[in-house]
């Protein structure tokens, strides 16, 4: 239909002529109440945002000479974080001469990750980055 006729029909019915696809040949237009269309699209976007779960990354820091009591305390915190559906970044900072014993640091992190194995999984093994040993634990999917 020619654009002049489409404008005339839209004016007679009290609707708006909205360009849906200007790249097509011919261009695709639609007769609608544009205010209602805009309101409905904003409402749908809000509904989609409300249903989204934003996954956060929370960090737990360890040391090489950490006591078992403190490990248990940090394990409980990590379990809560993973059960809430967030990721946990476990980092262990080595100080001074501790850097010479980096394998012990990796072992401490591995033990921590192993204790959390029923709550989360890891993609990569603990990685030594300079003075830190870092690993990210992802929550297990629950259905």
What domains, with CATH codes, occur in the chain? 3-49 (3.10.20.80), 57-139 (3.30.110.10)
- Closest C-alpha to 71, from 101, 114, 102, 103: 114
Distance (Å, rounded) from C-alpha 115 to C-alpha 79? 10
Q: Is the pLDDT of residue 57 over 70?
A: yes
- Give me the helices (H) in 1-143, please: 3-13, 34-51, 68-83, 102-115
Q: What is the pLDDT of residues 83-132, one digit of tens each?
A: 988 999 999 999 888 888 888 899 999 999 999 988 888 888 888 888 99
Distance (Å, rounded) from C-alpha 11 to C-alpha 101? 80
- The model carries a pTM of 0.61
């Amino acid at each position: 239909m020619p654009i002049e006729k489409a404008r005339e029909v839209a004016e007679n019915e009290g609707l708006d002529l909205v360009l849906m696809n200007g790249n097509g040949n011919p261009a695709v237009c639609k007769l609608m109440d544009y205010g209602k269309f805009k309101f409905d699209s904003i409402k749908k976007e809000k509904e989609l945002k409300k249903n989204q779960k934003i996954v956060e990354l929370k960090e737990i820091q360890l040391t090489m000479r950490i006591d078992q009591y403190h490990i248990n305390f940090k394990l409980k915190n990590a379990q809560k974080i993973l059960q809430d559906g967030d990721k946990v970044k476990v980092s262990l900072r080595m100080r001074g001469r501790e850097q010479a014993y980096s394998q012990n640091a990796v072992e401490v992190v591995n033990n921590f990750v192993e204790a959390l194995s029923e709550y989360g999984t890891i993609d990569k093994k603990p990685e030594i980055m300079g003075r830190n040993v870092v690993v990210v634990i992802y929550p297990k999917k629950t259905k």
